[in-house]
Amino acid sequence: MTLDVSRIQARVAELLAEYAIPSASIGVLHGGEFTELAVGVKNVETREAATTGTVYQCGSMTKTWTALAFMQLVDEGKVDLDEPVRTYLPGFAVADPEASAKVTPRHLLHHTNGIEEAYGDPGEGDDVYARMVENIADAPQVFPPGRTHGYSAALGYAILARILEVHDGARWDDIMRHRLFEPMDLTSTNSLHEQVDEARAATGHLIRSLDEGPIVTPVRHLPRAFGPGGNITSTSREVLAMAHLLLNDGMAPSGKRVVSAESIREMLRSRVPIPDPHMFGPAWALGLIVCDWHGETVYATDGSTIGQNARLRLLPDSNTAVVMLTNGGPRESFHHKVFNEILADLGTVTIPDPPAPDATLNLDLSRYEGVYERPGTRYEVSAEGGKPYLTLVLDPTQAEFLHKPDRIRYELLPVSETHFLMPPADPLEDTRTVAIYDFTNGTAQYLHTNCRVNPRQS
């Protein structure tokens, strides 16, 4: 089946208006053929149209790029995924001596290392990743290595980047260009914001209310500390070149081998379970999320910066990849609607609906009640009238900017003994999912949502 591009463009335009997202650039790789389209504007103030050549910030999709470069080191026999990190960084240490000796590259790739992201201010210099590694000598453990899954926004992949830097004797940004961007003939993909052609760049937008509409983000790019985990910018076509590697055993669209077939297979098959399987998928592979769509295995890699978002889905069974880059959101329901329009056109499997709550469950809510907290994030779980509730506590400055209260209360609808739906509190939100789990000591020890884990504090 082929894609009805005109119909998809019209539908995307409708959805952009509905969700107050300024633009989307979409790429589809199906049966070896590339299709691209763009709708909307790069900037709501200039009203300049977005094109298929517009460059967007990819956010945490960057982690998949970094994972691919790291797997090249594995191909070369220079690193082993299951050797301790300190084999390659002899000074590596965190507050817990056992974790210092035990954490491996596989833990970092899986987000099961458990190290708190307490890396201080490493600056914006070329030594940023070396400084991050030095700065975590006193970083505590959120959980013991391998105990559970807890997403690391910056630190985990910065440590992987530092291993690459020590081996190659170059900065991570140059390593990515040498190892991936140039061999793959990518001319619009960069890791430093100074390298981006501003004439082609999308501007990020935030939305505080539907009445106000999207506003230009006050933060134009993430700090350099997020580089290996979040700072690559690219086009939809060049993101699909990465997808091509993953769907074709490490081969670029040009036919050039970039990563070994064995390393690609290892990236796809090495998995750990995600405590909240309903938001994205039930497992995490090496730099990829593993999804279950009606019994078919689909891989995902997503990213968000402050005002831009990237979503990529890989469907190996139908040799298909779909990417969408936007300069507003994120709204998962928007991405799901657009992807399902495209996937239905192609005759492939589509994204499943979220689970339904189970009204027959009779939970002992005292096992869930408590405070679950990480630096910058606090959740309070309570019971009232026999129902569980979650209160999100926002930083007052953030709440003021977003025109939100600093305490937002949600009802939790049980799906199982450990999983809950969290309906939206305002029209700008989607229903989310939450896992509250690990009753080792009689009460839940962790709360997991949006891939982040928060340990019980009280």
Residues with a catalytic annotation lie at 60
Q: Which two tokens stand for residue 429?
A: 């939100």
Alpha-carbon distance of 368 to 381, in angstroms, equals: 7
CA-to-CA dists, residue 397 to 376, 400, 404, angstroms: 12, 5, 10
Q: Which two tokens stand for residue 310?
A: 């990237």
169: exposed, middle or buried (Cβ count in 10 Å: 0-12, 13-18, 19+): exposed
- Cβ(379)–Cβ(63) under 8 Å? no
440-454 as b/e, with b when 16 or more CB fall inside 10 Å? eeeebbbbbbebbbb
DSSP string, 10-54: HHHHHHHHHHT--EEEEEEEETTEEEEEEEEBS-TTT-PBP-TT-
Query: Nearest-CA neighbor of 65 among 231, 260, 223?
Result: 231
393: exposed, middle or buried (Cβ count in 10 Å: 0-12, 13-18, 19+): middle
CA-to-CA dists, residue 374 to 118, 143, 150, 368, 378, angstroms: 11, 12, 11, 17, 6
Query: Nearest-CA neighbor of 35 among 331, 320, 290?
Result: 320
